[in-house]
Amino acid sequence: MERERKIQILKDIVNIDSTNGHEEQVANYLQKLFAEYGIESEKVQYDVDRASLVSEIGSNDGKVLAFSGHMDVVDAGDVSKWKFPPFEATEHEGKIYGRGATDMKSGLAAMVIAMIELHEEKQKLNGKIKLLATVGEEVGELGAEQLTQKGYADDLDGLIIGEPSGHRIVYAHKGSINYTVKSTGKNAHSSMPEFGVNAIDNLLLFYNEVEKFVKSIDATNEILGDFIHNVTVIDGGNQVNSIPEKAQLQGNIRSIPEMDNETVKQVLVKIINKLNKQENVNLELIFDYDKQPVFSDKNSDLVNVAKRVASDIVKEEIPLLGISGTTDAAEFTKAKKAFPVIIFGPGNETPHQVNENVSVENYLEMVDVYKRIAIEFL
């Protein structure tokens, strides 16, 4: 495929506003692109205007390697702060700017083009490459969960998630828990607080207890680092001279095997139960999102092949590491059999930021990297 066509494909899908939904428009574009080259694909409907895409090339004899990328993007934020409009992909000084350029439409586009080129070259594959393009990764890994439950990951022998990693290969990442605590009190005039119950005060009881718990943790992981907890959203009250009847907070946890999801959840439940025994305290705990840490074998065939191929193509040593962010791998690894996973894709440190961008050369080189990894792994 010509260089300019590859660049235009990325621009085209960045131009599709798939913020927290509307991924089916991206799926339709990729399905049509595959069809131009005689490659079949299947949409897996998740909701209205939301569909994941599954496509395969190769043979049924041999191993199965999956390429996976998500089609949704996060909100562009204050558009006035962007150098270029976030959904009008712009090439400037060797980079493509736009929401999703690095997280992770460049990785997804590179994978799709790699499959098309291998198919066009009639490359004999000792097995199959399967694309799993997902919906809703940014809001709960919804598409990966659906595809895994439907069995699309049950035959995998290896998985590459094309999240932005630059010239690094990730083989492990932390788990993630999102939770909400709701506090119910009683309204009263602020001049007569004795007739009310302050929902914010009671919410802060939880906040202080959970902060004490977090400070008591000394667990760490040599690959992933420390356990992380942050309260990130607080909301309460509706009028300055009224005792608030409602308040809530949301927290995010990045877990490690030494302080795993189940242990943390049990501690939060105990804190809530203890506080609710106090007079006039009424707290409710809801777990919104619960994703396990992912640990793959850093000496797996997939890691070794990817490291060797990438080092040869980019002429750099490729380090192996773990990260704090979670990915669709947290769902795909729930499939019926175990398989090695790497997170390896074009991109940089601009995901979710104003002026998100990707290096054109990094994007294009990953097409060749993916092709060579697939051939050698299979």
What is the full per-residue pLDDT of the chain (378 aa) written as tens digits? 999 999 999 999 999 999 988 999 999 999 999 999 999 999 999 999 999 999 999 999 999 999 999 999 999 999 999 999 999 999 999 999 999 999 999 999 999 999 999 999 999 999 999 999 999 999 889 999 999 999 999 999 999 999 999 999 999 999 999 999 999 999 999 999 999 999 999 999 999 999 999 999 988 999 999 999 999 999 999 999 999 999 999 999 999 999 999 999 999 999 999 999 999 999 999 999 999 899 999 999 999 999 999 999 999 999 999 998 899 999 999 999 999 999 999 999 999 999 999 999 999 999 999 999 999 999
Q: Based on the residue annotation, tell me whether 361 is a catalytic residue of this protein.
A: no
Give the contacts of 62 (CB within 8 A, at least 6 positions apart): 125, 126, 127, 128, 378
**Strand 63-70 to strand 90-92: parallel, antiparallel, or no bridges (unpaired)?**
unpaired
CA distance to 1, 81, 294, 352, per residue, from 7 (Å): 10, 25, 32, 21
Candidates 103, 137, 157, 245; catalytic one: 137
25 with 48: CB under 8 angstroms?
no
345 with 163: CB under 8 angstroms?
yes
ω before 104 within 30° of 0 (cis)?
yes
Element (H, E) at 284: strand 283-291
Q: Is 273 exposed, middle or buried (0-12, 13-18, 19+ CB in 10 A)?
A: exposed
The structure's pTM equals 0.91
Candidates 72, 145, 163, 331; catalytic one: 72
| Per-residue confidence (pLDDT) for residue 91, from 0 to 100 | 98
| Per-residue confidence (pLDDT) for residue 130, from 0 to 100 | 98
Q: Based on the residue annotation, tell me whether 36 is a catalytic residue of this protein.
A: no
Element (H, E) at 266: helix 261-275
| Per-residue confidence (pLDDT) for residue 20, from 0 to 100 | 84
| Per-residue confidence (pLDDT) for residue 372, from 0 to 100 | 98
| Per-residue confidence (pLDDT) for residue 236, from 0 to 100 | 97
373 with 314: CB under 8 angstroms?
no
| Per-residue confidence (pLDDT) for residue 325, from 0 to 100 | 87
First to last CA, the chain: 23
- Angle subtended at Cα 146 by Cα 51 and Cα 10, rounded to the nearest 5 degrees: 40
